[in-house]
A and B are shown apart, each in its own frame.
Chain A
Amino acid sequence: MRKPKGAWALVAVAVCCAVGLTACDVRRSPARATSSTLPPSPTQSPNDALPPQLSEYVAAAERANTQQPETVIRAGARPSLVQADGRRQAMVVRDEGDIDLSPGNYQLVVYCVGAGTLYAHLAIGDESTIKELPPCAVDTVVPATVNVSTTRRAQRVSVILIPVGEVTAGVSYQVRRQ
């Protein structure tokens, strides 16, 4: 007779989560504050409606993410929260590309405006780094970075931004070749 495998799966997931959290690089990146006109602090909404200041956070994150000569990918700002089926839902950003990349140093620069923390993952070919970014702020745009170096040509680039708990923020990013 078949045995339910759900319990084993849950254990495996718990272990993976624990390993993943332990493996995260929690060192803070050097950050440069950018002066800007920014929206007020978030307030907790008693229902599942999106916070009204979220769109302002998104606009602020978009303004901060300016194209540079070394920019390879530029992703426009988006909210960390969306409304799906009438309820609040965290959004995981995941963008991937099949592209031939030369060896070198690549940097993911994340612009976050609002409240909360993100994990950022950058993969170039077989090389990857995941890192807990500095907390997002409402009064400054803090560019947080994740670096990956590759000594071989790569055929794939992947960026994943994961909200830690409930994050009320606008997030944009770009990938630069240094």
Chain B
Amino acid sequence: MAQVAVRLEDVHVDYPVQAGATRKILYGIDLEIESGEFVSIVGQTGCGKSTLLRLILAEEKPTSGRVLVGGRERSQPDRYCGYVPQRYSLFPDKTVLNNVTFGPEVTGLNGFSRLTPEGRKRLREYREDAMRYLRHTGLMDADARKYPHQLSGGMQQRVAIAQALIMKPPVLLMDEAFSALDPGTRAGMQRLIHELWRESGTTIVFVTHNTREAVCLGTRIIALAKEESGEQGSSVALDLSVPHANFDSDEEEIRRLIGEVEAATLPRSASGDACSQSVAVHAGSSD
């Protein structure tokens, strides 16, 4: 039986808006993510996808309920979860190579130990390791000396992925990581992350508003949807296992899945039905 990497138990998240009043963001989320899964989380804007990710990161605390990552509740983000955000993913003051070696250095070398022969040897190893990861994510050796602002958006995200993966995190969280990229670069990055996931077996939680991306990348899709009145917050509207869907799947099958997922993300009436918008209009229309 596969190990559970992430578990959310009856999680509710409310944000205070005015004196005494709160806005419900997430409502009664129960979720189990097993090790090695590639979970895509989709939903309309403002439905709480990123909040869910921040809960798993332990950057935010639930109003009620429990979030267990690696079997325990965490008080702040740590190296158990790697993180690739949409923006500001790299440290602008460090070169590409130093961005990638930052994690190993900060955890493996302390104080002046980098000045010792042993420290210098380890630093060399970290750099070689980082270069391997950079090459693996499609970057050239010359890029290692560049600063982040000298790279394109796609290259920056490649570095961010290398930076996260070099720490070998059991869980990798990606928050709209490819949203700012042009379609061509985005397609390349999707294939890259899928390949890296297959090789490493890391659990990936991938938040996106792009349904096609979610369907083609994930082995499981979780759709969040709000109640129509917006008073109750979002809950899991669909939890769909799609182990065989990928970019090479039959287009008809992908369209069918997109339609199903998009229907689930529509705001629901109090009775739980999706609101009466045409699913056919949305099916396959994602960018």
Asked if A and B are interacting partners, one says no
**A residues apposed to B, CB below 8 Å:** none
**B residues apposed to A, CB below 8 Å:** none
